[in-house]
Amino acid sequence: MEQMYGTRQKKGSAPPDAPAIRGEILNISEGGIQIWLNQALGYASLVRIEYDDNLLLGEVVYCRQERAGWLVGINVEHALLGLNALARAMGAS
């Protein structure tokens, strides 16, 4: 399980300084990600997930209590993978 952290915001509001939430990535598929958190996220909340060298943007599709925490499913709408390589490539152009 990989460590991750992310931020959340409700649809319709866009606070850029939303607090970070630490969690664990349990599963990643082509269109989604399943994470475990120590707090609940609201249905349809927008989330930003950062792990390793990657950034994912998505929307919460479910959140249920499990293992003294919360199992959260997120539909990934945008993914930027390999951010350091991208930054180097952008700097070289």
47-59, pLDDT tens digit by residue? 999 988 999 999 9
- pLDDT tens digits along 12-48: 444 566 788 899 999 999 889 999 999 999 999 999 9
What pairs with residue 54 in β-bridges?
A: 51, 81
Counting the structural domains of the chain, the total is 1
Q: Any idea what the CATH number is for the domain that residue 59 is in?
A: 2.40.10.220
Strand pairing partners for 70?
37, 65
Report yes or no on 93 lying in a domain: no
**Whole-angstrom distance, CA of residue 11 vs CA of residue 14:** 8
Q: Quick check: pTM over 0.85?
A: no
Domain interval for residue 6? 2-88
Q: Which residues of 30-54 are buried (b: 16+ CB within 10 A; e: fewer)?
A: eebbebbbeeebeeebbbbbebeee
